[in-house]
């Protein structure tokens, strides 16, 4: 029997209403200007997110989220399973790349001010994605359950305690009790492989839908001058460039993963003293250092409380940045531009300082 492909396509189109989506894809255009390079950062994040999902599911086939089994099961993945060490290495490196690209994406949008009206909600869902990505990293860090990850998690989950009343609740929620125990490991695993993926997909769906709804932004000065910016068809021209970038990134990721596979320390002992050199993942280092420079007590409150409150204020301010920067072409807009540079320098300097 010969299947009439046209008829088959028409049948699906009838039920799923796909034509408008295809039509949209072929009609969609991406503006071309001196900053369009940054448009590729969003899709690069998608590449790494996809790699995280595939390698993560593979690791979950053998990983055991228990006190007794966690470290050994990773040891088994690395030594007994075909290419297991590489899968783990790719998962670990791709997480680093993903977060790095989320940060580059955010900074590029900060400096080009693409968050300005009407893209405020895109920015705000983006900030949520940043937080979720970092929580992904934080929960994943504990899963090998070695000495370093145990101590880092104890420190990390204790930080909310600096806030009176609610902080204690947050800490107990994260730990599944007063202390970091096997229950914490179970919880972190559940967050890492179930809750956070659901959350990130929900927010990402809104984020990408908003990008489609508004189309890509054009540079501020062209918008003010009402200049017509040349554009590139999304399909196939833009996608072709995207695919080239994906392949390059994939090559870099694989090379680094092959050369620098992560190690595995001894399994964590809840009773053992903390080892030297307890550090969080690199993207938390500047926050870690910020907490460290505050003195133990500042008048009636602890230094930690002051530090945590300041960090929270900064996060909330960045979340609402499009509303704070409501006159992007004015003096305040310039200032916010410089604040972005200052924030970047601050994060780099503090990260390096924390390693000294």
Beta bridge partners of 66: none
**Three-class SS state of 58:** helix
| Nearer of residues 20 and 273 to other proteins, judged by Cβ | 273
| Nearer of residues 26 and 212 to ligand HEM, judged by Cβ | 212
Provide, rounded to whole angstroms, the least separation between the CB of residue 28 and other proteins. 39
Among positions 59, 78, 109, 142, the unique one binding ligand HEM when judged by CB under 6 A:
109
Residue 92 touches which of ligand HEM, other proteins, none (CB < 5 to 8 A by kind)? none
CB 220 within 8 A of CB 328: yes
Q: How many CA atoms lie within 13 A of 160 on its CB side?
A: 15
Binding of residue 274 to other proteins (CB under 8 A): yes
What phi and psi, each to the nearest 5 degrees, are found at residue 262?
Answer: -70, 155
Please classify residue 87 by burial: count the beta carbons closer than 10 Å to its beta carbon, then call 0-12 exposed, 13-18 middle and 19+ buried: buried
**What is the Cα–Cα distance from 258 to 245, expressed in whole angstroms?**
20
Query: Residues touching ligand HEM: how many (CB under 6 A)?
Result: 27
Q: Report how far apart the first and last C-alpha atoms of the chain are (Å, whole number).
A: 72
Beta bridge partners of 233: 29
Q: How far is CA 66 from CA 53, 83, 193, 267, in A?
A: 22, 23, 15, 11
Residue 25 touches which of other proteins, ligand HEM, none (CB < 5 to 8 A by kind)? none
Residue 171 CB neighbours (<10 A): 21
Provide, rounded to whole angstroms, the least separation between the CB of residue 75 and ligand HEM. 31
Q: Which stretch binds ligand HEM (CB under 6 A): 83-91, 113-121, 219-227, 261-269?
A: 113-121
Q: Which two tokens stand for residue 240?
A: 């072709």
- C-alpha closest to that of 148 among 262, 57, 60: 262
What phi and psi, each to the nearest 5 degrees, are found at residue 145?
Answer: 55, 50
Site string for other proteins, 42-81 (x = CB under 8 A): ----------------------------------------
Binding of residue 51 to ligand HEM (CB under 6 A): no
Determine the distance from the C-alpha atom of residue 105 to the mean position of all C-alpha atoms in its chain, rounded to a whole number.
10
What phi and psi, each to the nearest 5 degrees, are found at residue 263?
Answer: -95, 175
| Nearer of residues 85 and 288 to other proteins, judged by Cβ | 288
| Nearer of residues 213 and 332 to ligand HEM, judged by Cβ | 213
**Residues between 314 and 333 that touch other proteins (CB under 8 A):** none
Q: Which two tokens stand for residue 203?
A: 């927010």
**Three-class SS state of 29:** strand
Provide, rounded to whole angstroms, the least separation between the CB of residue 14 and ligand HEM. 30
**Residues between 115 and 144 that touch ligand HEM (CB under 6 A):** 115, 119, 122-123, 126-127, 129-130, 133
Q: How many CA atoms lie within 13 A of 90 on its CB side?
A: 25
Binding of residue 292 to other proteins (CB under 8 A): yes
**What is the Cα–Cα distance from 204 to 222, expressed in whole angstroms?**
29
Binding of residue 43 to ligand HEM (CB under 6 A): yes
Residue 217 touches which of other proteins, ligand HEM, none (CB < 5 to 8 A by kind)? ligand HEM
Among positions 25, 29, 46, 343, the unique one binding ligand HEM when judged by CB under 6 A:
46
| Nearer of residues 92 and 122 to ligand HEM, judged by Cβ | 122
Per CB under 8 A, residues contacting other proteins are: 151, 154-155, 157-159, 169, 172-173, 176-181, 183, 270-278, 292, 296-297, 302-304
Per CB under 6 A, residues contacting ligand HEM are: 39, 41-43, 45-46, 49, 102, 105-106, 109, 114-115, 119, 122-123, 126-127, 129-130, 133, 204, 207-208, 211, 216-217
């Amino acid at each position: 029997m010969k299947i009439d492909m046209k008829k088959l396509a028409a049948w699906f189109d009838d039920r799923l209403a796909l034509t408008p989506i295809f039509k949209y894809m072929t009609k969609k255009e991406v503006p071309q200007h001196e900053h369009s390079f940054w448009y590729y950062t969003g899709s690069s994040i998608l590449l790494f997110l996809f790699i995280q999902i595939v390698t993560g599911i593979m690791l979950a086939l053998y990983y055991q989220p228990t006190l007794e089994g966690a470290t050994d099961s990773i040891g088994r993945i690395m030594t007994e399973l075909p290419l297991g060490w590489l899968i783990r290495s790719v998962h670990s490196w791709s997480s680093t790349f993903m977060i790095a690209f989320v940060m580059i994406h955010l900074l590029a949008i900060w400096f080009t001010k693409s968050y300005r009206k009407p893209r405020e909600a895109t920015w705000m869902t983006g900030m949520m994605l940043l937080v979720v990505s970092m929580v992904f990293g934080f929960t994943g860090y504990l899963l090998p359950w070695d000495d370093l990850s145990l101590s880092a998690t104890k420190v990390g989950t204790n930080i909310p305690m600096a806030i009176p009343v609610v902080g204690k609740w947050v800490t107990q929620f994260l730990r599944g009790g007063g202390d970091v125990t096997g229950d914490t490991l179970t919880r972190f695993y559940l967050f890492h492989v179930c809750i956070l993926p659901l959350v990130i997909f929900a927010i990402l769906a809104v984020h990408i839908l908003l990008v489609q709804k508004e189309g890509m932004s054009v540079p501020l000065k062209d918008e003010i001058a009402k200049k017509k910016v040349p554009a590139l068809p999304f399909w196939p021209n833009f996608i072709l460039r995207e695919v080239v970038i994906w392949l390059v990134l994939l090559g870099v990721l694989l090379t680094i993963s092959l050369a620098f596979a992560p190690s595995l320390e001894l399994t964590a002992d809840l009773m053992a003293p903390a080892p030297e050199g307890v550090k969080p993942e690199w993207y938390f280092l500047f926050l870690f250092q910020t907490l460290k420079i505050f003195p133990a007590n500042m008048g009636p409150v602890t230094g930690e409380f002051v530090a945590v409150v300041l960090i929270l204020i900064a996060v909330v301010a960045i979340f609402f940045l499009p509303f704070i920067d409501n006159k992007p072409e004015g003096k305040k807009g310039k200032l916010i531009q410089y604040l972005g540079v200052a924030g970047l320098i601050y994060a780099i300097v503090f990260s390096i300082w924390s390693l000294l």
